[in-house]
Structure 1
């Protein structure tokens, strides 16, 4: 959870700082994905969300971000970052099998006693980051599945 900010004004500054890093053509796919997740977390916080967990692992896989939106809904967020559309839209990479594993992982996160938090409901979102001309373009798809 390092590098996480939970203050909206800090997040705006972090968004700008992270955004400038996408211009590096030498980023590996893994580094690009990690940068996309950092960007998504800062984007959410800048809009009043509270990030509870990042890269939480269970036997069903990893949940990129667990956060609470301003309306107190708990969201499990899968982040997909792309440089090109060669393999389709980023959200198309969240297959039915991936969705099923994310649902199972979400249940595991919820039943952990350390994760007791007041919320008004649960949903699964996808956050896409398209890098265009070296700049990130983030988009949140609420209730994606």
Structure 2
């Protein structure tokens, strides 16, 4: 049974594979600053995408995407500002995506991607 950290890391690996398969370019992973951590920062053509990844073993506590509360959204907006201030990346648009991953008992993963989940 993987630890919570291992589960999260595996989910982020799956999310990065999913995003790159969809044509996005991953710029950063697990970027940290004093206020917290951004799971994935990517570019979708001319749009910078800040992506929160939530991974669960099941849906007993709800779908993983539901774990991105209003408070978490506020924190992600602050983290995005910090990331932009620390990097020389510019884009006319910024988007916040959420990826929920449920690791099923059969070993397969169900990936739910919500592009532009909040603004």
Secondary structure class of the residue paired with 2:37 = strand
Q: Which has the higher helix share?
A: 1
Poorly superposed stretches of 4+, deviation over 3 Å: none
> Could you report, residue by residue, the CA deviation over 1:41-98 in whole angstroms, capped at 9, with x for unpaired residues?
11111221110000001222100000001x3210100000111111111011111111
1:74 aligns with 2:54: no
Aligned length: 117
Secondary structure class of the residue paired with 2:61 = coil
Task: Find the aligned partners of 1:137 and 1:90 in 2 and give their Cα distance.
Answer: 11
Q: CA deviation at 1:140?
A: 1.2
Q: Which has the higher strand share?
A: 2
TM-score normalised per structure 2: 0.92
The answer for unaligned runs of 5 or more in structure 2 is: none
| Matched-pair contact (CA < 8 Å) for 1:129–1:139 | yes
Task: Find the aligned partners of 1:46 and 1:89 in 2 and give their Cα distance.
Answer: 23
The answer for unaligned runs of 5 or more in structure 1 is: 1-25
Task: Find the aligned partners of 2:5 and 2:75 in 1 and give their Cα distance.
Answer: 21
| Matched-pair contact (CA < 8 Å) for 1:68–1:75 | yes
Residue in 1 that maps onto 2:79: 105
1:92 aligns with 2:60: no
Residue in 1 that maps onto 2:88: 116
Secondary structure class of the residue paired with 2:82 = helix
Secondary structure class of the residue paired with 2:32 = strand
Could you say which structure has the larger radius of gyration? 1
Residue in 1 that maps onto 2:34: 59
Decide which of 99, 110, 114 is 1:127's aligned counterpart. Answer: 99
